[in-house]
Structures are given as structure tokens and as C-alpha cells.
Amino acid sequence: MGWTSSYIHTMGDWGPASLYFENVRVPAKNILGELNKGFNLGMQWIGAGRWRIPAGAIGTAERALQMAIDYAKQRISMGKPIAEYQAIQWMIADSHVEIEATRWLVLHAAWLAENGKDTRHASSIAKLHGATMANHVIDRVLQIHGGMGYTKELPIERWYRLVRLYRIFEGTDEIQRYIISRNLLKGHVKLGEAL
């Protein structure tokens, strides 16, 4: 009788856990929402706040990209910094563009939330793009660092594992695509409707 928890081992650093409740009594004043409707309430909260995940992804991606920029300026290959090679420049540019695009998607979803509007569609777009962006940026950062990026001496391998989770939790990429396409196909959202 009561509750127990068990740690879930993951490839990431943080520690999720399973919670088990058995015969736990909850006073009426502590019930959130309607009795036996907790799943629906939880899904509403998750959907409305999905834009917060890509907001975090922006921070991780920016930190990693700055690390790659600094490294590219000081790493010498064939007599010059690797920052002078077009391949490196393009990886840096593509990463920056993806980060900025995600930032605007997040700001749009946050604006909707701040103005009491439905954020679910915009949040799904931001989450899908932000999760993909973070994975692309970290992959490029690892590539720029070469073999050093693959070692545990740098935080890149940890970030690589961390950002992979963005594509799974609070709705997988596939779920976001389903939500976005369903809204468009059913006419809940029209193309070009920015607000």
C-alpha cells in the first residue's frame, strides 16, 4: 500500500523513474481536474507546453555551435585554420540558420500561449523542427571536431545522446507529423495562417 519508484537506466545522463501507486488515497482537495480524467488532463498539458522542448534544444545547439566555431578557428590543418575551409563554413552556416528558424518557431508558439491562443499546432511544428535541428547541429559539431568529437574528453558525445531524446519524449517526431498533417487535412489550420 502506497507508492514505490524504480530508476530507469537510459543512454542519457538524467534519471527518469517509474512510479507505482497502489491503494493511495488522495483527498478531494488535491485532485487535479476531474476524477478518472487524469490522462486527458496530462495530454492537454503536454500538448500546450511542447514548445518548451525546442527552447531547450536551442540552448544546447548554440553552446555546441559556439564550441565548434572556437575550435574551427584554432585547429590547423594543411597550414591553415579549418574555419577557412568551405565545408566547415557551410556546416557552421547551416547550423546557425536552423537554430534561428527554431528560435522563431518557439517565439511564435510562446506568443500564442501568452495571448491565450491554442498553441498545440505551433508547438508541434516547433518541437518537430527543434528536435531535428538539435540532432543535425550536434552531428555537425561532432564532424567539425573530427576524432576528438567522438571522445569522452569533450561534452559532444554526451550532447549527442541527450539531443536524441528530443525526438522521442513528449511526442515522437512521428506523432508531431501526425498532429500537423491531421490539423491541415481536417481544416483545423489553413496554410499561411500565421496567427
| Residues marked as catalytic | 170
| Exposed e or buried b per residue across 114-143, where buried means at least 16 C-beta atoms within 10 angstroms of its C-beta | eeeeebbbbbbbbbbbbbbbbbbbbbbbbe
Contact predicate 151/157, CB 8 Å: yes
C-alpha cell at 145: 571536431
| Exposed e or buried b per residue across 55-90, where buried means at least 16 C-beta atoms within 10 angstroms of its C-beta | bebbebbeebbebbbebbeebeeeeeebbeeeebee
Look at residues 141, 165, 163 and name the one whose alpha carbon lies nearest to residue 154: 141
Q: Which amino acid is at 166?
A: Y
Q: Which amino acid is at 63?
A: R
